[in-house]
Amino acid sequence: MTFEDQTDFASQVADLNKYGQALNRCETVEEVVSLTLEAMSLLFGTAHSTFVEVSDGSLSVSHSTNPGLSPGDEPGEMAVEAFETRETVVREGAAARVDPDSGVTAAMAVPAQIVDEVTAVLVMRSTSHEEFGDAHVRPMGILASHAATAISNIRSRERLQRAHQDLENRKEMIELYDRLLRHDLGNDLQVVSGFSDALVSDLDGEAREHAERIHRAAERSTDLIDRVGDLVSTLEAQDEPEPRDLGPLLTKVVEDNRAQFDDLSVEFDPESSEYRTYGGELLESVFSNLLSNAAVHNDGPMTVRVSVDETGPSDVVVNVEDDGSGIPADVRDDVFEMGVKGAESTGTGFGLGFVRALTESYDGGVSVGDSDLGGAAFLVRLRRA
């Protein structure tokens, strides 16, 4: 008998949907585990139900109604096989038993996954069923899908919360350095700048040149301190990440930069970017910075291609590629550090540091590599909403 042929088919689907709704309201993975095991026991009436959680590719038992299993135990080979193959594993008779004397007659391991990401494996063993057919496999698959969605949502929220906390810690350190720079070093630089300017008027020849160089260095340092202060103020003012439509945001950035730079040609298909991602009002600045960098730091006409790739159930990557001179491999690890810039760059070195600080505050990230167009490829990873 198939799942649909059962007399209580509609009732079972309704029960599964109710559990799905309840799972999506769970605040913790522990709640998901408890509710899923309850559903397995009540809906299928099996002797033992086990929830195996998958974290960073490692499997461990979260909880089980089998008294022989404890949280943290390594799962059996059925769970491992289901995880590795992404397929439901069914066993009957002796092959279903871990303990030869257990009386188990049938067993099933179902991967709970979204797209290709397995977040858990649900295992149940029965002493009353001779086998598990479609009437059991199909509804278990539905329950596993609900559990996977719930866990994925919880983990996304937890990662976002950790990113917020990391950002707050960084802000505190930046604010401390900012106060020290502006107050202590800033005051000293004003003294240096003032006296060196006075010396320029009083000296001649080589001594005057030295005084002019001191004055220019003090002015540049003061300007740098002001720029750092502006950056800190900008980061402090940004709002909390919330779901935003990526397509309209990228469309606006592309149109603005096309209008601003005559030599800039941008390839972009708005229909490929119909995603919702987490970000604040400054998310637009991330992409505007990358596009304007391509136009400003390369000579002559420039082509930039903006595209969006779906990398899994929880992330998208926005690719900003150009046909410019690229970024040497030996400086790519440092290019996102605040104040770091190329030998021939006329900028401040804070643009890409600003990009990284913002994307990380949204629980994302940014990296750079080689573009198929021949220049640099910036990959901005964002969390899907």
pLDDT for 278-303, tens place per residue?
Answer: 887 778 888 988 998 888 777 778 89
What global pTM score does this model have? Answer: 0.51
Mean of pLDDT over the chain: 84
In the chain, which segments carry CATH 3.30.450.40?
A: 9-159
pLDDT score, position 251: 95
Percent of the chain with pLDDT over 70: 86
pLDDT of residue 294: 84
Position 4 pLDDT exceeds 90 = no
> How many residues in total does the chain contain?
385
Residue of 369 and 162 predicted with greater confidence: 369
* Helix locations, the chain, DSSP H: 9-24, 29-44, 77-85, 134-180, 186-202, 205-237, 246-260, 283-296, 351-361
For domain 9-159, say whether CATH 3.40.50.2300 is its number.
Answer: no
176 CB-contact burial (10 Å; exposed 0-12 / middle 13-18 / buried 19+): exposed
CB atoms within 10 A of CB 34: 15
Q: Quick one: 241-385 is in which CATH superfamily?
A: Histidine kinase-like ATPase, C-terminal domain (3.30.565.10)
The C-alpha atoms of residue 105 and residue 127 are separated, in whole angstroms, by: 5
Predicted local distance difference test score (pLDDT) of residue 3:
47
Is it the case that residue 232 has pLDDT exceeding 80?
no
Instruction: Name the nearest CA neighbour of 253 among 380, 365, 385, 353.
Output: 380
pLDDT of res. 31: 94
Asked whether the beta carbons of 349 and 336 are under 8 A apart, the reply is no
Higher-confidence residue of 55 and 343: namely 55
The residues, ordered by sequence, that sit 6+ positions from 155 with a Cβ below 8 Å of its Cβ are 29, 119, 314
Residue that is written with structure tokens 């779906």 in the block: 310
Distance CA 258, CA 256 (A): 6
Q: Is 120 helix (H, G, I), strand (E, B) or coil?
A: strand
Q: Output the pLDDT for position 287.
A: 92
| 3-class secondary-structure state, position 309 | strand
Distance CA 272, CA 319 (A): 12
pLDDT tens-digit readout, 171-204:
676 666 667 666 677 778 888 888 998 998 888 8
In the chain, CATH 3.30.565.10 sits at: 241-385
- Residue 348's pLDDT band (boundaries 50, 70, 90)? very low
Q: Which element (helix H / strand E) includes 153?
A: helix 134-180
